[in-house]
Amino acid sequence: YATLLSEGYRVRISGQDVERGTFSHRHAMLRVEDSEEEYVPLKSVEKNKGDFSIYNSLLSEYGVLGFEYGYAMAAPDTLTIWEAQFGDFSNGAQIIIDQFISAAEDKWKVRNGLVMLLPHGYEGQGAEHSSARIERYLSLCADDNMIAANATTPANFYHLLRRQMHRNFRKPLIVFTPKSLLRHPRAVSKLDEFTKGGFKEVIDDADVKATEVRKIVLCSGKLFYDLLKVREERKIKNIALVRIEQLFPWPEKQVEAILKKYAKASKVVFAQEEPENMGPWSYIIRTFRHPGLELVSRKASGSPASGSHKVHTVRQNEVIDNALAL
């Protein structure tokens, strides 16, 4: 945010718990305990040319998201962000998403750069705190109407937000953001990854030799780190883990180039934490017509996740085991 502010862009963030961050991950506003005096560090960054605003909003996703959509329309030079407390709760604003965010450009030829941050990930927190309903957003994606991403490194998220403002056009950006990854020891980036390069729509596996790979696992989001941990524990050397960081528009050229690199791989699967009838899968099979592509996931379900942490663990381990089986 500070780099955009220093370049003259404004940044505006709203949501039910954004000042601190639902997972105590932001602390954008600090308060003195005795006096209740407020201090916003990003307002004090040297050489700031833009304005930074952050607001804990009322518990109406519908009302607040509608307001922020209008704000982003009126101020295209502002990085306007609405963050859900959990991605699951964005369904309270479904009318705004269906009528405006996904369809406005097609209906009225108007563009909007609103950013939605939707915490998503299966971590045993139950049906109401696990899924941002990735499948719903991807079902609305067509004709380059918006961008759907699931960044797995700090640097990639950083470049994704900067790209949103540096492009010479505006599109809504839907980001399925992390929860446990906020403190994951492997979800880190080197300093030069921030100062060099840009947003990576696909991240290849840097830890395997292409000539030894016999199976390719495509995945998106937190599941990568779960798979990586078990792959290292089992000392598996012939399975590549490829991260899809941008789900829509689908990065076809990058994916195809990576698959060609693993010429000896005889099997390609897409692995997801979500049940078969949810998550990116239904979108993937419409978009990525790779011969023999298979799915690894939980079985189809009426609810996004189990309310039992024990059942969650069993199902998560099944996904990991099946993804890493040759």
Q: What is the pLDDT of residue 44?
A: 82
Burial group, residue 176, by CB count within 10 angstroms (0-12, 13-18, 19+): buried
Mark whether 30 and 173 lie in a shared domain.
yes
CATH number of the domain encompassing residue 268: 3.40.50.11610
- Among candidate residues 183, 215, 232, the one where a domain is terminated: 183
CATH number of the domain encompassing residue 9: 3.40.50.12470
Q: What is the pLDDT of residue 33?
A: 86
- Asked if the structure places residue 195 within a domain, the reply is no
Q: What is the pLDDT of residue 93?
A: 96
Mark whether 207 and 179 lie in a shared domain.
no
Q: What is the pLDDT of residue 24?
A: 87
Q: What is the pLDDT of residue 289?
A: 87
Mark whether 296 and 233 lie in a shared domain.
yes
Mark whether 71 and 214 lie in a shared domain.
no
Q: What is the pLDDT of residue 45?
A: 78
- Asked if the structure places residue 27 within a domain, the reply is yes
Q: List per-residue pLDDT tens for the chain, 326 residues long.
A: 999 999 999 999 999 999 998 898 889 889 888 898 989 988 887 776 889 999 999 989 999 999 999 999 999 999 999 999 999 999 999 999 999 999 999 999 999 999 999 999 999 999 999 999 999 999 999 999 999 999 999 999 999 999 999 999 999 999 999 999 999 999 999 999 999 999 999 999 999 999 999 999 999 999 999 999 999 999 999 999 999 999 999 999 999 999 999 999 999 999 999 999 999 999 999 999 898 999 999 999 999 999 999 999 999 999 999 999 98
The range of the structural domain enclosing residue 292 comes to 203-323
3-state secondary structure of 242: strand
Cβ atoms within 10 A of the Cβ of 97, count?
A: 23
Q: What is the pLDDT of residue 120?
A: 95
Mark whether 312 and 255 lie in a shared domain.
yes
Residue among 313, 281, 284, 286 nearest 297 (CA): 281
Contacts of 144 (CB under 8 A, 6+ apart): 171, 249
Mark whether 179 and 232 lie in a shared domain.
no
Mark whether 129 and 167 lie in a shared domain.
yes
Number of domain units in the chain: 2
Mark whether 274 and 163 lie in a shared domain.
no
- Asked if the structure places residue 262 within a domain, the reply is yes
Mark whether 316 and 210 lie in a shared domain.
yes
Q: What is the pLDDT of residue 274?
A: 97
- What number of helices (H) and strands (E) belong to the chain? 11, 14
Mark whether 175 and 213 lie in a shared domain.
no
Q: Cα–Cα distance between 285 and 266 in angstroms, integer?
A: 19
Mark whether 19 and 134 lie in a shared domain.
yes
Torsions phi, psi for 207 (to 5 deg):
-105, 5
Mark whether 152 and 210 lie in a shared domain.
no
- Asked if the structure places residue 194 within a domain, the reply is no
Residue among 80, 73, 111 nearest 4 (CA): 80
- The structure's pTM equals 0.94
- Among candidate residues 183, 217, 249, the one where a domain is terminated: 183
- Asked if the structure places residue 189 within a domain, the reply is no
